[in-house]
Amino acid sequence: MAKFQAIRGTKDILPQEIQYWQFIHKKISNLLECANYQEIRTPIFENSDLYDRGIGKDTDIVNKEMYRFYDRSNRDVTLRPEGTAGIVRAFIENQMSYHNSLQRLWYSGPMFRYERPQSGRQRQFHQLGIEFLGSVDARADSEVIHLAISIFDNLGLKDLKLDLNSIGKVEDRHIYQAKLQDYLKTYHDELDLDSQKRLINNPIRILDSKHKHTQKILTGAPKISDFLSLSSQKHFDTVCNYLKLLNIPYNINHNLVRGLDYYNDTAFEIKTLTSKSQDTVCGGGRYDSLVRQLGGVATPAVGCAIGLERLLLLAKEKIDLPDRYLDFYIATQGEKANKVGMRLMQILHQKFFTIEIDMGSNNFGKQIKQANKKKAIACVIIGNEEIEQGIVTIKWLANQKQENMKMTQFVNKTSYLKKKILFYKSLKSY
């Protein structure tokens, strides 16, 4: 019989890896809570039209990468390839603007794109997003960028570069697109195949090409900065000034356009200077027309997303995981002791102690070895003698001291036990 394996582009996250994921998630959630951003969770699949209209039919995501299918009710459904469209759908559907005109939101969860798997890029990947809906103020752009930078700083990641650009408004881009198209048509046969296809429907996306010769051609292309309206230029200048005020260095990259059609004005990416392959670890920008485009009342917005797999690759070596200790390891011997041990496990759980009950050996010596291996603070021993006397033996593993205690005392002396555990944990920290 053939062995079952994870589908290409997906990956199991095993218990020892989960510790790093939890560490990062806790750090980020604490940071965003301090900035008064509220967590939101949306479904992992949506109506496909949400992404057709939101991301854009001429984007690679919609044309090449979406996991799109018809369900049993013949509905056209897509596993979410990104988070923002779903957040905006939830914002509109739940009338969130009526409760608060400004919504500071964040999310985290799996996304799905049919891309070529490589280090830091899977077909099921995890993304954390920050979204600020309701403000056209340049301070909102700067706040989102500041929070993204703060996430990396809090994880000890310093070798990063912030690329910044303004892609103007739709009207600006229409004028620019025509000029760019005219310029690139003269180089049609020299462009890579993807860029040749984009030349007709979405020439601005050619700016994002990774093809070396195409990038060389683009050095002489018109710049979008020369076609910005006064309001877009003013907004961009203000964002830049706030970043300077916050001591956040940036590089203006005229070819930065991002891969989603809903962006306008501010676009940015944070890149690592140490990676040889997937160097973009965060990307975002302003999307003032998306809420109206998806059927809501016109609402300005700005946001960004961080790929968690890439973040973990960069941060893992810098993460010093705290030691994980068990409070009690319960060792039993004999049928009656096993029953008492199970009842004791239940009581200790209810009192929020971390515990494990041994189910692998009748030999107390082996069970105590397991307790040490599991980094237990104490081993609770229950054998025939303890059953006859109605007691438990507590072996404090840090100094091998033992004490006997009546079962009723043991289950009721919660504060005493917690103090002892804290004391012995402090000894282990030296």
Mean pLDDT by 10 residues, the chain (430 residues): 88 93 95 97 96 83 91 96 96 87 95 88 94 97 98 92 93 87 85 83 81 86 89 96 97 82 90 76 94 94 95 88 91 94 94 93 89 94 93 92 92 91 78
Among 288, 318, 348, where does a domain finish?
A: 318
Question: Is there a domain that residue 275 lies in?
Answer: yes
Among 274, 293, 318, where does a domain finish?
A: 318
Number of domains, the chain: 2
Q: Which two tokens stand for residue 91?
A: 């914002």
Question: Is there a domain that residue 27 lies in?
Answer: yes
Same domain, 352 and 286: no
What b/e string do you get for 332-359 counting C-beta neighbours within 10 Å, with b at 16 or more? Answer: bbeeebbebbeebbeebeeeebebebbe
Same domain, 331 and 314: no
Taking the model in full, what pTM does it have?
0.88
Question: Is there a domain that residue 62 lies in?
Answer: yes
Domain that includes residue 62, residue range: 15-169+229-318
User: Using alpha carbons only, what angle is made at residue 218 by residues 212 and 219, rounded to the nearest 5 degrees?
Assistant: 100
Among 282, 297, 318, where does a domain finish?
A: 318
SS3 45: strand
Residue 15 has a pLDDT of 92
Asked if residues 282 and 315 have their Cβ atoms less than 8 Å apart, the reply is no
Same domain, 119 and 266: yes
Helix (H) or strand (E) holding 326: strand 326-332
Residue 317 has a pLDDT of 83
Residues within the annotated binding site? 82-84, 113, 127, 131, 258, 262-263
Q: Sheet holding 326-332: strands in order across?
A: 355-357, 326-332, 376-382, 391-396, 401-406
Question: Is there a domain that residue 92 lies in?
Answer: yes
Same domain, 265 and 136: yes
User: Using alpha carbons only, what angle is made at residue 83 by residues 51 and 18, rounded to the nearest 5 degrees?
Assistant: 140
Nearest Cα neighbor of 181 from 191, 169, 171, 167 is 191
Same domain, 139 and 242: yes
SS3 47: strand
Residues within the annotated binding site for L-histidine? 82-84, 113, 127, 131, 258, 262-263
Same domain, 314 and 330: no
Same domain, 335 and 254: no
Same domain, 270 and 337: no
